[in-house]
Structure 1
Amino acid sequence: MNRESNFMPTPDQDVLEVKPLRTLAPMFPAPLGVDVLNRSTTPPLVFVAPAGQFSGAFGAWNNPAIRSFAAFGVPDAGGDQGAGDSQTAAFGDQEIGRGQSAANGTPNIGTSATEPIEATPISAYKSTQPIVISLDDDNNDDEPYTGNQTSTSGRKIKRPSHLSGYNMSDSLGIDGSNGTKKRPKSSSRKAANDNDLSFMPPSSDPREIVEVVLMTFEALRRRHLQLDETQETSKRADLKAGAIMLASNLRANTGKRIGAIPGVEVGDIFYFRMELCIIGLHAPSMGGIDYMNAKFGDEDDSIAICIVAAGVYENDDDDTDTLVYSGSGGISRNSEERHDQKLERGNLALERSLSRKNVIRVVRGYKDPACLTGKVYIYDGLYKIHESWKEKTKTGISCFKYKLQREPGQPDAVAIWKSSQRWVENPTARGGVLHPDLSSGAENLPVCLINDVNSEKGPGHFNYITQVKYLKPLSSMKPFQGCGCLSVCLPGDNNCVCAQHNGGDLPYSSSGLLVCRKLMVYECGESCQCSFNCRNRVSQKGVRIHFEIFRTTNRGWGLRSWDPIRAGSFICEFVGEVVDDTKVNLDGEDDYLFQTVCPGEKTLKWNYGPELIGEPSINISAETFEPLPIKISAKKMGNVARFMNHSCNPNTFWQPVQFDHGEDSYPHIMFFALKHIPPMTELTYDYGDIGCESSSVGSTRAKNCLCGSSNCRGYFS
C-alpha cells in the first residue's frame, strides 16, 4: 500500500530528485569474462538442483556429469558499500571476480513481493578466471594475525584443486608408544572436487542444508587457523575456508531472490561475511547492498534485495523496527578522500525499491561482546523502504538516506539482542526473576532463575556444586606427564607433551574455540609448568557465559544464554555424582543421569570436511562409537548442565576432557557449541539413541521426545 510520507526536510537535507530510469540505468560489470553489452542469445548453462534452490553439492554432487558443469559463484569483491565497506575507489567501475552479480534473467514479480524469486546469476557462465576474494576490514577474525597482509583492495585466491603442505593426524585414533598420533605422510593429495563428500547430507530440508554448509565452513576455518599458526603464516582463515567451499560448490541458495531465504531463520547469527555468501543470504563479500534485475509487468528494474548495516556509516540503529540506512560510496579506505555519493548501482537499486515497494532482507552488525575486534551479524528479517532523502554528513559529503520499516509478524531478532545485552549489564532489568543467582556465587557469573510462563516457584531441591563428586578414579584412565613449557604452550612446539597427547596440535584456537571433536581432549593441568593463562586451559576455568534457567512450556525447566555463543565455544561441565553401574536403576528412574550413549549423527560428524583439503576422513559412526565407562547423576547435586534438555537437532555436544594428571585422574564431561547460538536460544544436547549398538551398556527404556525438530526420532534414551 502506498503510504504518504510525513517527512519534512531540514535546511541541510534535500528531497531526492530521481531522474528517469533510462538515464540512470545501472551499468553492471562484466564478471568472469561475460560481455553484458553484446550478450549472446544462447541461454547460459545452469544447473538446477532437485530442491530448486540448492547447489549441486547436495544429493546430486556425486554425479560426475553434474559436477563437471557446476558453476563457481564467487562473492562480490567491491561495489556497494552501504555497510561501510567503501571499496569503489580500489576497483573503479569494475568488480573483479564477481559471481553473484545482477541477474541475467529478469524474474516476473507477482502480487506477493514476499515470495522468494529466483534469477539466473551471471556466475552460471563457465569461466576459467580465478576466484577473487576480497579482504573485508569489517570482518576481522578474533584470532590475531602477524606478518604483512595485502591491501584491502582484495586478495586473489586461486581455485584450490588441492592445498599443498597441509597434513593432519586422525585425531580420533592413537599411534605410537607414547600415546600420540603421528602425522601421516601425504604422498598424493586428492583434489577438492575429487574427494568423497559423503559427509554432506542427502536431505532436502533447507534448514539442515544451510546448517551443514555453515558447520563445514566453520570447521575448515578453525582447522586453517590451527595449521596457519603451526606454519607461522598470517592468512585470513575465513577467506581460505570460503574459497574452498566455493571452489567445491558447497553452498546453498545459489540463485538470487527477493524475500526470505530457504533454511535461514530470522535471528540467526553469523561471525563472518563469508558465511552470508555461502548460504545465499547476501552475495557480496564486502558490499553492503545486494541487488538484482527483476521484471515488473513489462518493465525491467534494478532493485535491492539485501543490505548489511555494519555500523560504519551514520545509521540510526536505536529503533529495533526502524532502520535509517546510509547509501554507498563517498568514503575511500585507501585514502582520506571524500566525495558526494552518487545515485547509481546500489543506491539506485535502493531508490527503485522505494517505488517498487519490494521487501529487503536486513542484516545488522554489532560488536562481538567476547572480542574487541570482532563483529556479530544478525539476520533481522524483511523490511521495506518508506522514505529517502539526501543530507550532509559530519564529514561534509552528501549522503543518501533510506528509512526502512520492519515488516510486521516476524520473530524478534535485534530486539532480543538488545534486551539480552541490557540484562548482562543490569540483571535486575530482566522480568520474571525468581532468584538473581541460583548458584549463590559458586559460578564465575550469576545464574538467573526465570519463570514467565506459570506460577511455579522453581525446580526441585538440589545442592549446587561446581565439581564432580566421585568415589574412585577410573581404572582405564592412565596418568600422564605434564608439559614443561615456559609461560604458555605454543602452537607448533614439538616438545610440548600436552600437544603430543592431542595428536601434535593444541586442541583450542587462541580465542578458546575447540578445533575438532576427539575421543579425549587433554588440557594442561597441575603437573604442567605452563601458567594458568595457557591457551590449553579452557574448560577447567569454569563458566564464562551469562546463563538463565527458565521454565519451558512443556518440558520442565531449561537452560539458555544471554550471550551469543560461537561454534566451538566451551559452555559448561556436566557436574554431579559419579554413580556405580550396579546401582543406577535401584532407586527408581533418574531423569538427571548422564551416560555416554551414542549421540545423534550430527554430533558424531561435527568434524566436517577434512577431505576438502586433502586430509584423511574422520569417520565416526554409531557402529564404531565407544562409550566411556562413566555415569554421572545430577539428581541430588549438580550445576546448570542438569537443566539442559534433549533435542534430536541439538546445538551443543559433549566432549571428554582430561586435565587431572595424577593417579586419581578421571574424564570431565564438557559441553561445547555445535553451531552459532543466538542469545535466548535454549541450549540442548542429544541424550543418545538407544538404538545404537554401542549403547547397550546400562541402557534404559525409551522416553517420548518433545523436541519438535524436523528430524525428531520420537524418542531418546
Structure 2
Amino acid sequence: MVSSCPNPVKDRSFPKPKQARHVGKKVQHVKGHSQEICCKKVCTFTQEWYDIRRDIGEALKCYRRLRLVKGLRDKVSNNHGMSPERGKCSGLALHKRVASLLKRLGKWVNTTKQIGCVAGVEIGDEFHWRGELCIVGLHSEFQRGIDCIASLNGRTWATSIVDSGRYDSATTSRVSPNEFTYCGEGENPIFGGKKKAKVKDQKLVGGNLALMNNMVDRKPVRVIRKYNHIGNANDSGYKFVYEGLYRVTKYWKEIRGDSGTYVYKFNLVKMEDHQQYDSEWKKKYVWHRRH
C-alpha cells in the first residue's frame, strides 16, 4: 500500500481499471444448490486475489486523501482536463467528485457488476464512506440501498444491499445475529431530514422486484451494514461493514404504522458458510443492540 495518492498521469497513460475476476474461489454446495463462497477457511486465495486486495487498499487511501485535500483534487482535475470545483464541494457532491477523480486515475477495482463474492474483499472489512463501496465493486449506488444487475432477457437481481437504517419507523429489524428483515426501497417518509407531506405505497418494481427474483432464483446478495458510534469510524461517527452473502427466504407486504401505506419487507438469512466469520466486536455490538 502507498501512504499517499500517486501523482496523476497523462490521459493516454491511464492504467485500465481491473475487471472483476473469479479468483481464489471454490464452489460449495449449500442446501441443494451451488454458491460461490469466499472466506478464509473455505477457499484458497491466489496471488492475484491478494494483488487485488492490495489495489483496494491503495484506492481507499487515495479516496480518503482526495476527500480531505482540495488542492490535490484541483491538481488531479487540472492534469486530466476536468472542470474545476464550483463553490464549496461537500456531502454527496464531494464523494461523487472524488470517485470520479479516482476513475480517471484508473484506481477503481472490480469494475464489472457481479453476483456473489467480490475479489479482494473479506467478511468484516470496514469502509468509511458510501463512495468507497463503489470504487471497490461492493455496491455501485451512492444513495440507493439496493444495487441491481440485469440479464440479457431483462430479468433483474439484487447484487448487494446497504442496511443503513434510513427508513425511520419502517427500518430493518434483527431476527437473530444471522437473520434480519429489510424494508424495500421507495417512498421513504423521512428523506434528507425532511418529512414528506404525502407517502404512497411501495411498489414491487426496481430493487424490490430484484430482491424477489433473488428469492425465486436462489441468488445470493451481498449485505453491507452501517454502524454508528463504533470504534474506527469516520469523522461523522459511522462506518460500513461488509457482512457477507445472504439469501432472501421470503417477502411480504405490510402496513407502515405512521402513514397507513404499504411497504415491502424481505427476510434475509446469512449463508451457512459465512456465519462463523463475523468479527468479535460486531458480535458483541449486535448482541448488545438487540438486548
Shift of residue 248, structure 1, vs aligned partner: 2.7
**1:309 is the counterpart of 2:163:** yes
Aligned to 1:213: 59
Shift of residue 312, structure 1, vs aligned partner: 1.9
CA distance in 2, matches of 1:327, 1:224: 37
CA 1:325–1:291 in structure 2 vs 1: closer, same or farther (change >3 Å)?
same
**1:235 is the counterpart of 2:90:** yes
Deviations 1:166-186 (A, max 9, x none): xxxxxxxxxxxxxxxxxxxxx
CA distance in 2, matches of 1:234, 1:414: 35
Shift of residue 247, structure 1, vs aligned partner: 3.1
Higher helix share: 2
CA distance in 2, matches of 1:399, 1:312: 14
CA distance in 1, matches of 2:37, 2:73: 43
Aligned to 1:279: 136
Structure 2 counterparts to residues 233-632 of structure 1, below 5 A: 233=88, 235-236=90-91, 237-294=94-151, 301-313=155-167, 314-317=171-174, 319-331=176-188, 333=191, 335-369=196-230, 373-395=236-258, 396-410=260-274, 411-413=276-278, 416-419=281-284
CA contact (8 A) 1:341 1:398 kept: yes
CA distance in 1, matches of 2:140, 2:280: 25
CA 1:203–1:344 in structure 2 vs 1: closer, same or farther (change >3 Å)?
closer
CA 1:387–1:422 in structure 2 vs 1: closer, same or farther (change >3 Å)?
closer
CA distance in 1, matches of 2:166, 2:242: 18
CA distance in 1, matches of 2:146, 2:58: 26
Percentage of identical aligned residues:
27
**Aligned residue type for 1:278:** I
CA contact (8 A) 1:320 1:414 kept: no
Deviations 1:600-650 (A, max 9, x none): xxxxxxxxxxxxxxxxxxxxxxxxxxxxxxxxxxxxxxxxxxxxxxxxxxx
CA contact (8 A) 2:66 2:73 kept: no
Shift of residue 256, structure 1, vs aligned partner: 0.5
CA 1:416–1:374 in structure 2 vs 1: closer, same or farther (change >3 Å)?
closer
CA distance in 1, matches of 2:252, 2:125: 31
Shift of residue 419, structure 1, vs aligned partner: 0.8
CA 1:216–1:347 in structure 2 vs 1: closer, same or farther (change >3 Å)?
same
CA contact (8 A) 1:291 1:346 kept: yes
SS in 2 for 1:258: coil
CA 1:367–1:308 in structure 2 vs 1: closer, same or farther (change >3 Å)?
same
CA distance in 1, matches of 2:131, 2:238: 13
CA contact (8 A) 1:326 1:402 kept: yes
Give the structure-2-normalised TM-score.
0.69
Shift of residue 226, structure 1, vs aligned partner: 10
CA 1:257–1:66 in structure 2 vs 1: closer, same or farther (change >3 Å)?
farther
CA contact (8 A) 1:115 1:258 kept: no
CA distance in 1, matches of 2:126, 2:139: 13
SS in 1 for 2:34: coil
SS in 2 for 1:244: helix
CA distance in 1, matches of 2:139, 2:100: 16
CA distance in 2, matches of 1:358, 1:413: 21
CA contact (8 A) 2:127 2:240 kept: yes
Deviations 1:450-482 (A, max 9, x none): xxxxxxxxxxxxxxxxxxxxxxxxxxxxxxxxx
Structure 2 counterparts to residues 81-120 of structure 1, below 5 A: 112-114=34-36
Give the structure-1-normalised TM-score.
0.30
Structure 2 counterparts to residues 164-183 of structure 1, below 5 A: none
CA contact (8 A) 1:210 1:279 kept: yes
Which runs of 5 or more structure 2 residues have no equivalent in the other structure? 1-7, 18-32, 39-47, 75-86
CA 1:330–1:219 in structure 2 vs 1: closer, same or farther (change >3 Å)?
same
CA distance in 2, matches of 1:345, 1:374: 31
CA 1:62–1:220 in structure 2 vs 1: closer, same or farther (change >3 Å)?
closer
**Aligned residue type for 1:283:** S
CA contact (8 A) 2:109 2:135 kept: yes
Shift of residue 65, structure 1, vs aligned partner: 5.7
CA contact (8 A) 2:175 2:181 kept: no
CA 1:373–1:235 in structure 2 vs 1: closer, same or farther (change >3 Å)?
closer
CA 1:324–1:385 in structure 2 vs 1: closer, same or farther (change >3 Å)?
same
SS in 2 for 1:221: helix
SS in 2 for 1:363: strand
CA 1:346–1:208 in structure 2 vs 1: closer, same or farther (change >3 Å)?
same
SS in 2 for 1:358: coil
CA distance in 2, matches of 1:233, 1:308: 28
CA 1:264–1:204 in structure 2 vs 1: closer, same or farther (change >3 Å)?
closer
Which runs of 5 or more structure 1 residues have no equivalent in the other structure? 1-60, 72-110, 117-201, 426-717
CA distance in 2, matches of 1:211, 1:321: 28
Higher relative contact order (CA 8 A, sep 6+): 2
CA distance in 2, matches of 1:284, 1:345: 13
CA distance in 2, matches of 1:308, 1:374: 17
CA distance in 2, matches of 1:227, 1:276: 20
**Aligned residue type for 1:360:** V
Structure 2 counterparts to residues 59-74 of structure 1, below 5 A: 67=14
**Aligned residue type for 1:393:** R
Residue correspondences, number? 233
CA 1:386–1:318 in structure 2 vs 1: closer, same or farther (change >3 Å)?
closer
CA contact (8 A) 2:14 2:105 kept: no
SS in 2 for 1:112: strand
CA distance in 2, matches of 1:365, 1:359: 20
SS in 2 for 1:399: strand
**Aligned residue type for 1:385:** V
Shift of residue 218, structure 1, vs aligned partner: 1.3
CA distance in 1, matches of 2:270, 2:37: 16
